[in-house]
Amino acid sequence: MRAILYTKPTIVPLSNHHNREAFDCGVVSLGRYIREQALQDAKGKIAATFVLSVDTPAAIAGYYALSSTGVNAGELPKDIAKKLPHYPLIPATLIGRLAVDHRYQGNGYGELLLLDALQRSLIATEQIGSMAVIVDVRDDKAKAFYEHFQFIPLVGCLNRLFLPMAAIKEELKGV
Ligand SMILES: CC(C)(COP(=O)(O)OP(=O)(O)OC[C@H]1O[C@@H](n2cnc3c(N)ncnc32)[C@H](O)[C@@H]1OP(=O)(O)O)[C@@H](O)C(=O)NCCC(=O)NCCS
């Protein structure tokens, strides 16, 4: 009997039914995270990991991890900071990691994961305040990926970028 193949990509919370061993995005630390740490972080409420499946439900084509974070008000560009209350720490949502397996890269799955993460972050603001989505980037290639989607570097932080929740709301209108 032929195996039933997924035709529609799905994004679901990581569980121990997923085959974490086979994931390889070309960045050692991101492979190690999904294999060794992500389930533990989910259990401890440190980060919630969501997994993209394309062919079969157990195979991981990509993933992202979300957590709560804070941004120092002084790290925001002046034109944005001046519209905010004078709190030293501004609540935000962190995409700590986002990766696509190298066999699936270049097919729009990175964008699909990012949009899903942004949408999930926006929906969560109905219950928990967050004025932006933050990403930590490891190298120039990752930075260029997020800049492609209008993320802006935080002031004085070369490896941290952000996108205001208001811009995300506008961008996702009608999606
Ligand atoms: C970065 C990464 C997530 C991109 O995923 P992908 O599936 O290959 O990207 P997509 O096919 O969805 O690309 C979507 C768009 O982003 C662009 N893009 C992809 N990678 C890019 C990069 N490094 N720099 C600039 N633009 C990039 C594509 O050209 C495409 O643009 P278009 O729609 O205008 O044609 C993937 O290459 C990856 O996992 N890399 C290793 C891990 C990593 O660096 N993660 C990010 C930081 S944690």
- Please indicate, yes or no, if residue 5 is contained in any of the structural domains: no
How many angstroms separate the CA atoms of 13 and 43, rounded? 12
**Domain span including residue 52:** 10-171
- Please indicate, yes or no, if residue 78 is contained in any of the structural domains: yes
- Please indicate, yes or no, if residue 2 is contained in any of the structural domains: no
**Ligand 1 pocket check for 113: Cβ under 6 Å:** no
Domains contained in the chain, number = 1
- Please indicate, yes or no, if residue 3 is contained in any of the structural domains: no
- Please indicate, yes or no, if residue 71 is contained in any of the structural domains: yes
- Please indicate, yes or no, if residue 64 is contained in any of the structural domains: yes
pLDDT tens across 8-17, in order?
A: 899 999 999 9
Distance of CA 110 from the midpoint of ligand 1 (Å): 5
pLDDT tens across 75-119, in order?
A: 999 999 999 999 999 999 999 999 999 999 999 999 999 999 999
pLDDT tens across 147-172, in order?
A: 999 999 999 998 999 999 999 999 99
Helical H segments across 33-73, by residue range: 38-43
28 has a pLDDT exceeding 50: yes
- Please indicate, yes or no, if residue 140 is contained in any of the structural domains: yes
Tell me how far apart the terminal alpha carbons of the chain are, to the nearest angstrom. Answer: 38
Domain of 37, CATH number, reads 3.40.630.30
pLDDT tens across 32-84, in order?
A: 999 999 999 999 999 999 999 998 999 999 999 999 999 999 999 999 999 99
The residue whose C-alpha atom lies closest to atom 28 belonging to ligand 1 is 106
**Ligand 1 pocket check for 13: Cβ under 6 Å:** no
